[in-house]
Amino acid sequence: MRQTMPVRLSTAEETLIEQLKSLGNEAEAERISVAGLPTRRVESYHYTDLKTLLKAMPPLAAPANEASAPALRVPGAYQLMIANGAVQSAGTAPAGVIVETSEGTSLSTRDDVLVHLNGAMAKQSLNLTLEGTVDCPLQIDRRIEGAAAHSASSARVFVADNAKATIIETCSGSKAAHVGNHASYVSLGKNATLTHITVDLSAEEATHFSTTEYELAEGSKLRSLVIHAGADLARSQVFARFAGEGAHADFTGLNMVDDGQHRDITLDVHHAVPNTTSKETFKQIARGRSKAVFQGRIVVARDAQKVDGKMMMQGLMLSDEAQILSKPELEIYADDVVCGHGSTCGHIDEVSMFYLMSRGIPKAEAQVMLVRGFLEELIEPIEGDELREALNGVIEGWLQGGIQ
């Protein structure tokens, strides 16, 4: 009889197991004890080997005594905060916004280690119900405060039928080697319209994990944008399911990766019904000895005819040592669809650089101008001048030397 060799656990895994046991979650502790964290042998983590990359696991986060100022301010936004996993009190909600809390995670059951861990560790979820047209942006500020800590947070958003809203989620905190595992479940009702933006602005030594699940009903419209601009190690997962005909989504994302950093955006889009459309546009910029990863998959179910899905990744390397990895996939079971994917990668165009420099523009400034043009496609469609200005400020901060 063949026996399975036990997994050799890292220090981070051993600490994680003890933390799960202390929370009373023996089942998840056993899962990690048997399988460990994902390695490159797990297809969805092929480019992000957590067993190797996650060097240490800090203690579980204690309640936050006080929170520092938001890392990103959006003028006119209604502010909500989750500090060290706990939902904080907020002011009077604007018209059409109902704020509640519940116990546990917002995510559905999914065979993914970050989803399992969030379910095991998140104690409280922020729940938002959005009705009608919400005039101001809603900002969910997720923070990990104090000394280095391991924290999980959760939010659930329901956009009612015919409602329209904009949500920006920011992840940040004190300057320490935190490990954050953040979750969002977003459900769009019939003919609902939502812009949903997540921005990682964690400290340079931090590790950032996030999972977002979308459910799109008939006629709904979604614009999703993920921006990585903070943590040393980051992985954002986006899972989307088209459940109603006529739904459309624009999935966009930006990895900005600096020397020594590893950042991963992984996307899984499931067209479960006919007559749905999606467009996936992701961009990656890497400088120094860094690694930027994009994994994207479009799945079209057997009965999902008349689906249109287009995926594109564009990478820009600002140094010879940078690595940009891309794995776009199509999994199509229907026979009447229009789907495609593409991936390009290269350095800044030398002809364009020569043109700008010949007009008297210094090299560094010319490079920044070309990068701004490269990214404009992601930011320009966002409604609201203040919100676009805030996002451009994040990009500008990275271009001028990174988030401080």
% of the chain surpassing 70 pLDDT: 97
Domain annotation covers residue 39: no
pLDDT digits (tens, 9 = 90+) for 331-348: 999 999 999 999 998 888
Domains held by the chain: number: 2
Give the pLDDT band (50/70/90) at residue 2: very low
User: Do 104 and 249 belong together in one domain?
Assistant: yes
Q: Among residues 347, 370, 396, which one ends one of the domains?
A: 347
Domain annotation covers residue 53: no
Domain annotation covers residue 63: no
Domain annotation covers residue 50: no
User: Do 226 and 360 belong together in one domain?
Assistant: no
Average pLDDT over residues 217-225: 98
User: Do 175 and 285 belong together in one domain?
Assistant: yes
State both tokens at 35: 């399988």
Average pLDDT over residues 357-383: 89
pLDDT at 363: 84
User: Do 360 and 341 belong together in one domain?
Assistant: no
User: Do 365 and 332 belong together in one domain?
Assistant: no
User: Do 340 and 356 belong together in one domain?
Assistant: no
Range of the domain at 392: 348-404
Q: Among residues 347, 368, 389, which one ends one of the domains?
A: 347
pLDDT digits (tens, 9 = 90+) for 40-69: 999 999 999 999 999 999 999 999 877 677
Domain annotation covers residue 37: no
Average pLDDT over residues 346-361: 86
pLDDT mean across residues, the chain: 93
Domain annotation covers residue 47: no
Give the pLDDT band (50/70/90) at residue 360: confident
4 pLDDT exceeds 60?
no
Domain annotation covers residue 363: yes
User: Do 277 and 355 belong together in one domain?
Assistant: no
Average pLDDT over residues 364-368: 85
% of the chain surpassing 90 pLDDT: 82
User: Do 217 and 104 belong together in one domain?
Assistant: yes
Q: Among residues 347, 379, 394, which one ends one of the domains?
A: 347
SS (H, E, C) the chain: CCCCCCCCCCHHHHHHHHHHHHCCCHHHHHHHHHHCCCCCCCHHHCCCCHHHHCCCCCCECCCCCCCCCCCCCCCCCEEEEEECCEECCCCCCCCCEEEEEEECCCCCCCCCHHHHHHHHHCCEEEEEEECCECCCCEEEEEEECCCCCEEEEEEEEEECCCCEEEEEEEEEECCCCCEEEEEEEEEECCCCEEEEEEEECCCCCCEEEEEEEEEECCCCEEEEEEEECCCCEEEEEEEEEECCCCCEEEEEEEEEECCCCEEEEEEEEEECCCCCEEEEEEEEEECCCCEEEEEEEEEECCCCCCCEEEEEEEEEECCCCCEEEEEEEEEECCCCCEEEEEEEEECCCHHHHHHHHHCCCCHHHHHHHHHHHHHHHHHCCCCCHHHHHHHHHHHHHHHCCCCC
User: Do 354 and 314 belong together in one domain?
Assistant: no
Domain annotation covers residue 27: no
Question: How many CB atoms are located within 10 Å of the residue 198 CB?
Answer: 23
Average pLDDT over residues 352-380: 88
User: Do 379 and 257 belong together in one domain?
Assistant: no
81 pLDDT exceeds 70?
yes
User: Do 109 and 248 belong together in one domain?
Assistant: yes
Q: Does pTM top 0.75 for this prediction? A: yes
Average pLDDT over residues 273-282: 97
User: Do 239 and 309 belong together in one domain?
Assistant: yes
Average pLDDT over residues 362-377: 88
pLDDT at 6: 65
